[in-house]
Amino acid sequence: MSEVLFVTGGSGFIGSALIRHLLNSTDYQIVNIDKLTYAAAPEALAVASKHSRYRFYQLDINDLDAITKLFAAYRPVGVFHLAAESHVDRSIQSASPFIQSNIVGTFNLLESCRNYFAGLTASCKKAFKFVHVSTDEVYGDLPISAPAAAEGAPYHPSSPYSASKAASDHLVQAWARTYGLPAIITHCTNNYGPHQYPEKLIPLLVQRALKLEPLPIYGDGLQIRDWLYVDDHVQALLQVFQRGKPGESYNIAGDQPLTNLAVAHAICNLIPTLNLPTALRYRSDQLKSLITHVADRPGHDRRYALNNNKIKTEIGWVPQVRFEEGLARTITAVYEGLTTIR
């Protein structure tokens, strides 16, 4: 029987890409723990769900008893923790689910994990790792002239979402320091790719552009995000698990900073060049005329930027997928999913 890895939030956008990658490129048995919120994309695991090395448990990470039983039953060699509420706008509307899943949920997961870890033999302890997937947003708004945030930069979260992620990072750091849990924290920039819930910028704009609907852009659209293709991200996560040092954190950046407006323009320019049905062969100027500036998000950060030298030099990971290439794959996936999409 192969060794087991737990993935929390494995039915989400990034978690499902991670599970596909782990099944395709390793021999691990994968246990996916996900409560299946509105954001889950079970269709992204249609093939994986038939795999003999895949198990799924529909569970809230706050269900301490059930998670504790899973640790005892499967005896994993590692945990990738991705389960979280992840949309900033929703956190502004109602922060409670973010506090519950991102902070209290991480606390409960850490507690069952540390109890399990305490009972391991010395050699199993040495092999075990807990990888906590966090975000660039914990570092907060960076002025244009400021250098990109390196690991160890001070935390300045702006939204309820980023504050809840920052709090969960602190819990992970405390459990590592106090209880010796071999934890690693990763901070990534904005992900994009297939199977992302269409409330996030890129799938939202693509879906609307394909239906010739208005393309909403917050404020002046000059907010800068660094875009990371999801397959690059999950490769980084596996490499961090394999080669990262417990107690350390690693930034994972796509090295492709763009304003939101530039992202919208890229989508409008790319759609006409793709091999889509004749009915969808819109002109780029026709699509750009749909761009509509709407009232800005409260507390909207202008710029995030991560320095990813550490993961490049210490782990040997570099992003592979250029933005136009990843965007073309994403547009095609959104188009193919439009008939079935939620």
Which entry of 34, 60, 85, 137 is annotated as an active-site residue?
137
Among 4, 6, 7, 11, interactor with ligand NAD by CB under 6 A: 11
- Catalytic, 137? Answer yes
Report the site for ligand NAD in 114-153 (rule: CB under 6 A). 133, 135
Among 139, 197, 229, 335, interactor with ligand NAD by CB under 6 A: 197
- Catalytic, 43? Answer no
- Catalytic, 136? Answer yes
CA distances in angstroms from 128 to 177, 206, 246, 317, listed in the order given? 15, 40, 9, 21
Tell me, residue by residue from 198 to 237, as one string, x for binding to ligand NAD by CB under 6 A and - for no binding: ----------------------------------------
Please state the separation of Cα 43 from the chain's center in Å.
17
**CA angle at residue 298 from 295 to 303, to 5 degrees?**
95
Q: How far is the CB of 53 from ligand NAD (least distance, A)?
A: 20
Angstrom distance (rounded) from CA 322 to CA 232: 10
Tell me, residue by residue from 33 to 62, as one string, x for binding to ligand NAD by CB under 6 A and - for no binding: -xxxx-xx-------------------xxx
The percent of the chain in helix, strand and coil, each rounded to the nearest 5, is: 45, 20, 35
Rg of the chain over CA atoms, in angstroms? Answer: 20
Tell me, residue by residue from 158 to 177, as one string, x for binding to ligand NAD by CB under 6 A and - for no binding: -------x------------
Site size with ligand NAD, rule: CB under 6 A: 30
Stretch that binds ligand NAD, among 29-37, 241-249, 258-266, 294-302 (CB under 6 A): 29-37
Q: What are phi and psi of 329, to 5 degrees?
A: -65, -40
Contact 136, 148 (CB under 8 A): no
Which CB, 98 or 128, lies closer to ligand NAD?
Answer: 98
- Report long-range pairs for 168-171 (Cβ below 8 Å, ≥24 apart): 168/84, 168/102, 168/103, 168/106, 168/132, 168/134, 169/132, 169/134, 169/138, 171/103, 171/106, 171/107, 171/110
Tell me, residue by residue from 73 to 92, as one string, x for binding to ligand NAD by CB under 6 A and - for no binding: ---------xxxxx------
Which CB, 100 or 269, lies closer to ligand NAD?
Answer: 100
CA distances in angstroms from 184 to 77, 90, 131, 142, 144, listed in the order given? 14, 27, 5, 24, 29
Stretch that binds ligand NAD, among 138-146, 175-183, 189-197, 285-293 (CB under 6 A): 189-197
Which entry of 136, 151, 226, 255 is annotated as an active-site residue?
136
Question: What do you get for the CA distance between the two ends of the chain, in Å?
Answer: 37
The footprint of ligand NAD (CB under 6 A) covers 8-9, 11-15, 34-37, 39-40, 60-62, 82-86, 101, 105, 133, 135, 165, 188, 190-191, 197
* Residues with a known catalytic role: 136-137, 161
